Structure 1
Amino acid sequence: MIRPIRTLLVANRGEIAVRVMRTAKAMGIRTVAVYSEADADALHVASADEAYPIGPAPARESYLRIEAILDAARLSGADAIHPGYGFLSENAGFADACAAAGIVFVGPPASAIRAMGSKSAAKALMEKAGVPLVPGYHGEDQDAGLLAREAERIGFPVLIKASAGGGGKGMKVVRSADDFPEALASAQREAKSAFGDDKVLVEKYLATPRHIEVQVFADSRGNAVYLHERDCSIQRRHQKVVEEAPAPGMTSERRAAMGKAAVDAAKAVGYVGAGTVEFIAEGEHFYFMEMNTRLQVEHPVTEAITGQDLVEWQIRVAQGEALPLRQADIPLKGHAMEVRLYAEDPARDFLPQVGRLDHLLLPAGLPGTRVDTGVRAGDTVSIHYDPMIAKIIVAGADRLEAVRRLEAALAATEVVGLATNRVFLKAIAAHPAFAAAELDTNFIARHQDQLLPPPAPADDMVLALAALSILKEEARQSAEAVDPADPWSPWGRAPGWRLNRDAHVDLAFADGERRISVRAHFRPGGFILALPGGDVSVEGEAAPDGSIRARLGGVALTARVIASGSRLTVFVRGGEYVLDFIDPRLASQAATGTAGRLVAPMPGTIIRIVVEEGQEVAKGAALVVVEAMKMEHTVAAPRDGRVKTLKFAVGDLVDEGAELLVLEDA
């Protein structure tokens, strides 16, 4: 029986909410958003036909409040709720609550969510269904001693995984028996914080595996298909960094075998809707890892190679319709890739960043490029939610074209206000091993030196563009200050003219610890800049959006320089460089010494204090553990010393840069 959906509430935020609403509107369905206090002005709210407040900023007080979401559905007259991914998307209780309220849940039945929600229970079920499993312990007994003995039986290295979740949270690689107790405790804390369940399983850790997942779809009429596979092998801390479809080197025979195993897994739990069956593969073998009972973040690459809208499939299946295509009719055309642009600082071990997006330019208009985002310039990346800025998806006729388009898309992406992983992603896309599809989960670790080099110093081209930007902005301000009663006054025009001597101005920049002076000599139509590498003639124009068309020594180029306070970010030739303009009109700021002071790497909660006041510690020893965005960050001793003062207690909230403790010489 078909039950038409006319009004759809999206119980999520960010890019997935915007993406779901785009498809719903194309289908003629009215859309409803929900939002926390922190998201009142968010893009997903502006994209909806109606929007309802559901509570304060913390997710547990808003996006995880089932009753508040159901109240919004009742008030708006929503026929159905789409959970997106994350938050309540894999919450069987939420699916049950929707059914009890007479609202369609656009997702699998609660029984399937429960069956696959526990990794250990799911693996037992898959074993009965004949789906191959990685050797490991998936039992109910969580005694620490038993888990340690099971790890010894399996053989190190092993992988501890949270039974109830994914996304790399509650996941630890353990290489020796001595390291197992601490890794277990940490995994259990993360699992409890992220999923409300500290149960774990232990598996053999494969040395050079590939992570391959299969997109499955089933309807309520007994039909089930797979829409090919995605390779998600390039990972950092067990979190996907690059996803692509189809998997490089996949033969049609192996695709069919993995597809069949994935469909068998879905049928074993009476699955309905979109799901992803994840496998780990090494050599000729592949093993079931888990099934995600929701739409995945990386679903756009599957859409690109099949030409299908998976959200539309979800809505049609939820209405009671049959799957739009049979297995034999599902196309596979070209190659697609996706990367996730995050507010995180690769130079600080990828610490998530929070703050305002002062400037944001995404490459949506490039050929074969799609951007899914939930933010705009001026929005704030909050501590309360995932720090993803956008998903950048490219598609090409083959993998080589997709790689080139990915490089171009990342080169055209600009973010100012927060550190991002853009340059890191671009380094992956440009790496010869990536072009050669030499993929496994150790890709980043293996090529870390090339992917995370120290920042390159600003060269003469970058300094010239920064200087031109400053000079043009000062000329604009001078022009605005002209007295309307005397528009031809040379003092108001400020062209750099000086009586009886060369007209010039000195500009000072800081490039990290390096201080650079650039002397600009005024010339008709431009400047001669005295740069570290010699004099260069410079002319050009700067637009209000920061874009510059310049000639440097006769070479024409385009760039963009964005000012955020005294900080200049120069985007040129796909690179980005940050300089501080030292304005002589401003008083210098005294540097604050920080020797011996250990500060919070980002806003978060103190969840563990390892030391006591007066305790002597060795360099590298763990001191304090801060939890932020559901991940643990350990502050370690930078040198040998004695803990003089502890400034916070377990459970305290701390801001980024807050002094946690003082370390003195022993």
Structure 2
Amino acid sequence: MFDTLLIANRGEIACRIIRTARRLGIRTIAVYSEADADAQHVRLADAAYPIGGPRPQDSYLRGDAILEVARNSGAQAIHPGYGFLSENADFADAVEAAGLTFVGPSSASMRKMGSKAGAKDLMAAAGVPVVPGYTGEDQSPATLAREAARIGFPLMIKAAHGGGGKGMRIVRALEEFIPNLESCQREAKNAFGRDRVLLERYIESPRHIEIQVFGDRHGGVIHLNERECSAQRRYQKVFEESPSPFLTPELRAAMGEAAVLAARAIDYANAGTVEFIVDPAGHFYFMEINTRLQVEHPVTELTTGLDLVEWQLRIAAGDHLPLAQDEVPRIGHAIEVRLYAEDPDAGFLPASGMLRTLRLPPPSDHVRVDSGVVEGDTVTIFYDPMIAKLIVWDQDRPRALARLREALAQCRIVGPKSNIEFLERLVRHPAIVDATIDTGYLDRHLEEFVSSADVVPPARLVAAAAVARLLGEAAPAGDPSPWTANDNWRLGASPARTLMFEHRGQPLPVTVSGAADDRVVHGPSGAVAVAGARLVDGVLSARFDDSAARIAVIAGPDHIVVHDGQARLDLRHVAGARRSAGADAAGDDRVRAPMPGRIVAVQVAAGDTVVAGQPLLVMEAMKMELALKAPRDGSVAEMRAVAGEFVDADAVLAVLG
């Protein structure tokens, strides 16, 4: 085993590796960018060194800088985590050339899988089922369009060197092919440095099943069961579980055998994931092998009782696989979701900013939280906006789902917007509960999981928030003086008070009248009588229109969250109504940056005539491309954006005449 390990990554995976290494008595070295100088992985490691600017290409993608730190710090091995350089064969070669151990597969195995096109050809030759498509080197638009017509529609365009849902497009008609091809190639070039694509038939209503494999350097290969990742939005996984509720025992065994066959075909060592797509009839096809640890590996750990990072380290040090195939455990059911700084109600626009409040459920035998941030940290624009992974375990799927609902109810994020409400709707949706969801369901039915700004919140939750706010402002305990009470009491009249909240950016006034134990709350959804209200240890107990309930409350100086076990209401407490975003008379004339980012393409110029919905420019932020479109018909009076420049949030990029 190694004495000193360098972690060439950041965030929750860096923290995860550091904790396992420390448990094994291994000294850890972290590297960090300018944006991560105060990050948690830096604070957790035994030593940490800067490697460059905030952009990944200036820091975490700089193999030379990472190797220099490794040499100077006495590291004997480098763990790449996932993302960044984890699947870069040239970096793996450089690590070995420097006399260090790369914690991962060989560069030769990576190169075989580094191209999705080459991987498909190799798997087909090995007898692993693959989806019909085109993997050729001729990447001319004419050839690709001709091959698309031959394969037929619907069709998937995929970045040949991609991953993480980037560089993928579904095309349903030939006339849509070239615009989607250009967009896919541009995104692939920006994300992976190469714009080669492959084409394959798109399987309708598929399930996404992946098999965790492990190989050692002595020829041993086994699998550690499957994970199902069928709940996806734009190819990004949002709900992962093990075991899959879709697989039969026969199909599970066949896919496990195919995954081991695929790993053996490339002489695989260390952790990897063989990903399959499965049609409704149960026919499965090879998609790719991810030659690294996956973000969703905790669900495998919780259902096997194994530490996959420890396995990685031991195998990299030359050990044999710790278990034979028939010794791999399968214990209960685990589910993982990811808390992101993003706004689902605004098209999942990534968010950034300080985490003023970060409340996550306490770890237990049933709940695990993997996070690289704590309260007070900042989610920056330079990296993936994931805040934490929430993983739950129980004896079976229904109980695991119940654990997940309870855990989500305890989460609270103040600062950047988050996807907590989206996840709460997701885990209660029939498609999840009944395990019928396919990879395209969320994109086809997104309106079932998000809500618009004009949705009126439930009257009982509004009443609970108002009463909890008033109880929180009550006189200090032990001070019976009426002069310190904050209840609007008046001689000979019923007290009344108007509270001004903000819900989803819109003003929400609430009036509360009546005595302390017998109030009536008037809000936009109607009046609710509240009696016997008590707020103790963050729980409001009261009778709402003669029906008793307990409602969890998380409150701060200017915000309050209430949760009744089924739904949450997140309100901001303000002194008065703010003007809505649409109040700007010139709002329809200006196209603004929705968040900080870099302009990657400007598609019109001053003087051009445009129509509503026409893309004007494309910006890149937090690992995704955003097309900014004309809000109305008109002409471009000014184009203030230049390709390649960084812009601040709310910056005016174009003005319509």
Q: Same fold (TM over 0.5)?
A: yes
Q: CA deviation at 1:495?
A: 6.4
C-alpha contact 1:416 1:569 (8 A) present in aligned 2: no
Q: Does 1:207 align with 2:204?
A: yes
Q: CA deviation at 1:620?
A: 1.9
Change (3 A) 1:144 1:615: same
Aligned residue for 2:542? 551
Q: Does 1:607 align with 2:605?
A: no
Change (3 A) 1:378 1:520: farther
User: What is the correspondence of 1:263-342 to structure 2 with a 5 Å cutoff?
Assistant: 263-282=260-279, 283-342=281-340
Q: Does 1:595 align with 2:583?
A: no
Q: CA deviation at 1:652?
A: 2.0
Q: Does 1:579 align with 2:579?
A: no
Change (3 A) 1:537 1:107: same
Name which of 362, 366, 369 aligns with 1:368: 366
Name which of 651, 659, 665 aligns with 2:652: 659
C-alpha contact 2:551 2:562 (8 A) present in aligned 1: no
Q: Does 1:379 align with 2:371?
A: no
SS state of the match for residue 407, structure 2? helix
Name which of 143, 162, 167 aligns with 2:159: 162
Name which of 167, 190, 193 aligns with 2:190: 193
Letter in 1 for 2:462: L
Q: CA deviation at 1:14?
A: 0.8
C-alpha contact 2:466 2:510 (8 A) present in aligned 1: no
Change (3 A) 1:452 1:507: closer
User: What is the correspondence of 1:164-563 to structure 2 with a 5 Å cutoff?
Assistant: 164-282=161-279, 283-365=281-363, 368-454=366-452, 456-475=455-474, 491=483, 496-498=488-490, 502-511=494-503, 513=506, 515-521=508-514, 523=516, 528-531=519-522, 532-537=526-531, 539-541=533-535, 547-553=538-544, 555=548, 557-563=550-556
C-alpha contact 1:218 1:225 (8 A) present in aligned 2: yes
C-alpha contact 1:560 1:572 (8 A) present in aligned 2: no
1:599-640 per-position Cα deviation (integer Å, ceiling 9, x unaligned): 122221112222222222222222221111232111122322
Change (3 A) 1:388 1:564: farther
1:158-177 per-position Cα deviation (integer Å, ceiling 9, x unaligned): 11111111111111111111
Name which of 24, 43, 47 aligns with 1:46: 43
Segment of structure 1 superposing worse, 187-196 or 365-374: 365-374
Aligned residue for 2:146? 149
> Following the alignment from structure 1 to structure 2, what is the Cα–Cα distance between the partners of residues 278 and 392?
22
Of all paired residues, the percent bearing the same amino acid is: 50
> Following the alignment from structure 1 to structure 2, what is the Cα–Cα distance between the partners of residues 641 and 388?
38
1:428-464 per-position Cα deviation (integer Å, ceiling 9, x unaligned): 2111222221132122134433222446523443333
Change (3 A) 1:564 1:475: closer
Q: CA deviation at 1:145?
A: 0.8
SS state of the match for residue 588, structure 2? coil
Aligned residue for 1:636? 629
Change (3 A) 1:116 1:468: same
Q: CA deviation at 1:86?
A: 0.5
> Following the alignment from structure 2 to structure 1, what is the Cα–Cα distance between the partners of residues 439 and 23?
38
SS state of the match for residue 86, structure 1? coil
1:506-526 per-position Cα deviation (integer Å, ceiling 9, x unaligned): 323344545423134554xx5
Q: CA deviation at 1:469?
A: 4.3
Q: CA deviation at 1:195?
A: 0.5
C-alpha contact 2:153 2:201 (8 A) present in aligned 1: yes
Change (3 A) 1:569 1:401: closer
Name which of 31, 35, 39 aligns with 1:34: 31
> Following the alignment from structure 2 to structure 1, what is the Cα–Cα distance between the partners of residues 234 and 386?
16
C-alpha contact 1:569 1:579 (8 A) present in aligned 2: yes
Q: CA deviation at 1:538?
A: 5.6
> Following the alignment from structure 1 to structure 2, what is the Cα–Cα distance between the partners of residues 286 and 568?
47
Change (3 A) 1:661 1:589: closer
> Following the alignment from structure 1 to structure 2, what is the Cα–Cα distance between the partners of residues 530 and 629?
42
Name which of 75, 78, 81 aligns with 1:78: 75
SS state of the match for residue 95, structure 1? helix
Aligned residue for 2:5? 8
Change (3 A) 1:551 1:57: same
Aligned length: 647
SS state of the match for residue 262, structure 1? helix
With normalisation by structure 1, the TM-score equals: 0.91
Segment of structure 1 superposing worse, 377-386 or 361-370: 361-370
With normalisation by structure 2, the TM-score equals: 0.92
SS state of the match for residue 591, structure 2? strand
> Following the alignment from structure 2 to structure 1, what is the Cα–Cα distance between the partners of residues 436 and 153?
25
Aligned alpha-carbon RMSD (Å): 2.5
> Following the alignment from structure 1 to structure 2, what is the Cα–Cα distance between the partners of residues 569 and 489?
30
Change (3 A) 1:626 1:589: closer
Change (3 A) 1:548 1:397: closer
> Following the alignment from structure 2 to structure 1, what is the Cα–Cα distance between the partners of residues 483 and 282?
78
User: What is the correspondence of 1:607-626 to structure 2 with a 5 Å cutoff?
Assistant: 607-626=600-619
Change (3 A) 1:582 1:390: closer
User: What is the correspondence of 1:88-107 to structure 2 with a 5 Å cutoff?
Assistant: 88-107=85-104
Q: Does 1:64 align with 2:61?
A: yes
> Following the alignment from structure 1 to structure 2, what is the Cα–Cα distance between the partners of residues 538 and 392?
35
1:506-558 per-position Cα deviation (integer Å, ceiling 9, x unaligned): 323344545423134554xx573442415433643476xxx343434573524
Letter in 2 for 1:271: Y
> Following the alignment from structure 1 to structure 2, what is the Cα–Cα distance between the partners of residues 126 and 556?
57
SS state of the match for residue 579, structure 1? strand
Segment of structure 1 superposing worse, 360-369 or 645-654: 360-369
> Following the alignment from structure 2 to structure 1, what is the Cα–Cα distance between the partners of residues 135 and 256?
24
Change (3 A) 1:270 1:81: same
> Following the alignment from structure 2 to structure 1, what is the Cα–Cα distance between the partners of residues 448 and 62?
44
> Following the alignment from structure 2 to structure 1, what is the Cα–Cα distance between the partners of residues 106 and 365?
39
Change (3 A) 1:561 1:368: closer
SS state of the match for residue 140, structure 1? coil
> Following the alignment from structure 2 to structure 1, what is the Cα–Cα distance between the partners of residues 458 and 395?
37
SS state of the match for residue 260, structure 1? helix
Change (3 A) 1:327 1:561: closer
Q: CA deviation at 1:316?
A: 0.7
Q: CA deviation at 1:364?
A: 3.7
Which stretches in structure 1 are left out of the alignment for 5+ residues?
none
C-alpha contact 1:213 1:232 (8 A) present in aligned 2: yes
Which stretches in structure 2 are left out of the alignment for 5+ residues?
none
